[in-house]
Amino acid sequence: MSSRKDLDLTAIRRTLERERDDLQEMSAAAADERQPVELDQQSVGRLSRMDAMQVQAMAQALEVRRQGRLRRIMAALARLDDGDFGYCEECGEEIPAKRLEIDPVSERCVDCAP
């Protein structure tokens, strides 16, 4: 476990796990929107297909962002398990507690962040 005494690691873990679960639920709920659009001209008009394709593209883009956030959450949970949570991946210095309160998946301090 991390030696950071200024962080409530239990609360951070709960927050990360809750967000992970929420993102996974949203991903499952939106699976139908990401499916290929039916191109049968007999059942759907051209404009309706275009609308459906736009909805599909937006749903796919949202899923890419959702999966990226999930990867960052899983990495933060792994750092919690390894005892590395709260330390910069670049320089090894402590990441300020306020930064971690705002975004607990932060991997770098302010000076090393891109």
In a domain, 21, yes or no: yes
In a domain, 2, yes or no: no
Asked if 12 contacts 81 with a C-beta cutoff of 8 angstroms, the reply is no
What's the predicted TM-score (pTM) here? 0.80
In a domain, 23, yes or no: yes
In a domain, 110, yes or no: no
In a domain, 59, yes or no: yes
In a domain, 108, yes or no: no
Quick: pLDDT tens for 20-76. 999 999 999 888 776 776 665 555 566 677 787 888 889 899 999 999 999 999 999
Domain count, the chain: 1
Containing structural domain, residue 29: 9-84
